[in-house]
Amino acid sequence: MAYTAKDYSKLIGMEGFSETLLKTHFTLYQGYVTNTNKILDALAGMLKGDKASAPEYAELKRRLGWEFDGMRLHEYYFENLGGNGSIDKNGDLSKKLSEDFGSYAEWEKDFKATGMMRGIGWVILYQDPHTGKLINFWINEHDAGHPAGCSPLLIMDVFEHAFMLDYVTKKADYIEAFFKNVNWKAAEARFKAAAGVEAAFSR
């Protein structure tokens, strides 16, 4: 079954994100969806044609991770936007952030500092299902560097396409705009879903 690009037009109008920036970003995301489907179709055709040992098959397999992760990470990113930026201080995720980082403020400081690192990529708050620990990771490429088995809770795109149309090189201002629009309900839902994974590992 082919993947279908999701509609995130409800995000248009967010403070700090121009319509042009968002529409450009949506188009880029749709390209990842299209390319994921094309590669999956091509791989299936080559497999049926007994061409799985061909160099082309191997290269498409390698490319699949880039396109698929580009698709999925953008979905996570858009879905954790559109909120008012306020985390429920009595919620389980807020309590866990304070437990692991000393305070919510210390976690936010680390997340923002990670986002301000030189380079392009993603900042992702992950939870390790083996220990329950929350860790902010820098992911340089879509298809490399993800911590195996961990659950993504909050995703921030820091590729240039995510902010340069509006902020040019002022990445710090983009990060502030991101935090003003975080949909913490989405992150909280992911945290609760990850709790089930953690429970499975502890059995």
| Closest by CA position to 92, among listed 124, 136, 127 | 127
Which token pair is 134?
Answer: 């929350």
Sign of CA dihedral 144, 28, 35, 11: positive
pLDDT band at 1 (very low <50, low <70, confident <90, very high): confident
Tell me how many degrees the CA angle 28-17-65 measures, rounded to the nearest 5.
30
DSSP state of 150: P
Class (C level, CATH) for 92-202? alpha beta
Query: CATH code for 18-79?
Result: 1.10.287
Q: Indicate if the pLDDT at residue 201 is higher than 90.
A: no
Q: Indicate if the pLDDT at residue 20 is higher than 70.
A: yes
Share of the chain above pLDDT 70, in %: 97
- CATH 1.10.287 in the chain is located at 18-79
CA 69 to the chain's CA centroid: 9
Q: Indicate if the pLDDT at residue 202 is higher than 60.
A: no
pTM of this structure: 0.94
User: Position 9: which residue type?
Assistant: S
DSSP H or E segment with residue 68: helix 55-79
- CATH 3.55.40.20 in the chain is located at 92-202
pLDDT band at 199 (very low <50, low <70, confident <90, very high): low
